[in-house]
Amino acid sequence: MNRLLVLVLVLLAGGAAAQQQQQQPSTPYYPAPPPAQAPTVQQGQPTTGLSSPLPANVPKIDRTEIASDAEAQLFADARKISWGRYAKVKGAKYGDVSVTRQGNVWVVKGRIDSVAPGSEGDWASVDGVVEKIAPGLVQIRGEVAFRVAKVEKGTACKVAGVLNFKRSGKSQVWRLAEGDNPCDGMREGFDLVHEKPVEKKPVPAQPKRS
């Protein structure tokens, strides 16, 4: 009987203590007060001298993608360069461009020198490899440079990367879509022009005179 009474008293006392704890006023520190010293953490890398997440080297082109045989046959005969900045000047002449094949890769290289009065010494050039030939489109990875004496004190201004030369309809001219001069913003009108090679007809043999 005494043991039962003691057990009941212990349970009542525990319940009262729990109730008293629940009724305690809340504190601003929950669930515990902050430590006297924050834990040390490992310092990160400095923000200087970081490298770009992009690959440092552009993958080498080992094959020109031909998505249109007809376009490729037409572009293979691109022989001339036209430069819109001086194209309407009296006496303007075309520049020369060569489209060659080095194994499975097509290579484009050419230059045009201006002969307009007062512009002697100005030139534009193209140098690159062909990534893709599609209907009305030739994509060249390389650079096109424009040297104009009155722009940037005659320093050549370049556009580089993947350059899109576009042709429309029955035109036989591919115009550089990225043809704005990066130095003065002028639309250069840089064109690669098809020129069918002249077919040399065999000279008929002359009859021998007796």
Look at residue 88 in the predicted model and tell me its pLDDT: 87
**Residue 148 confidence class, pLDDT cut points 50, 70, 90:** very high
* 51 has pLDDT over 70: no
Mean pLDDT of 42-48: 56
DSSP letter for 155, please: P
What are the extents of the domains in the chain?
65-194
Look at residue 13 in the predicted model and tell me its pLDDT: 58
Place of tokens 């580089």: 160
> CA 155 to CA 180: how far, in whole Å?
16
SS3 at position 8: helix
Tens of pLDDT, residue by residue over 162-209, are 999 999 999 999 999 999 999 999 999 999 999 977 666 666 666 666
DSSP code per residue over 33-90? PPPSSPPP------STTPPPSS-SSPPPP-S-EES-HHHHHHHTTEEEEEETTTTTST
Look at residue 145 in the predicted model and tell me its pLDDT: 95
Look at residue 89 in the predicted model and tell me its pLDDT: 85
pTM for the full model?
Answer: 0.66
Mean pLDDT of 110-129: 92
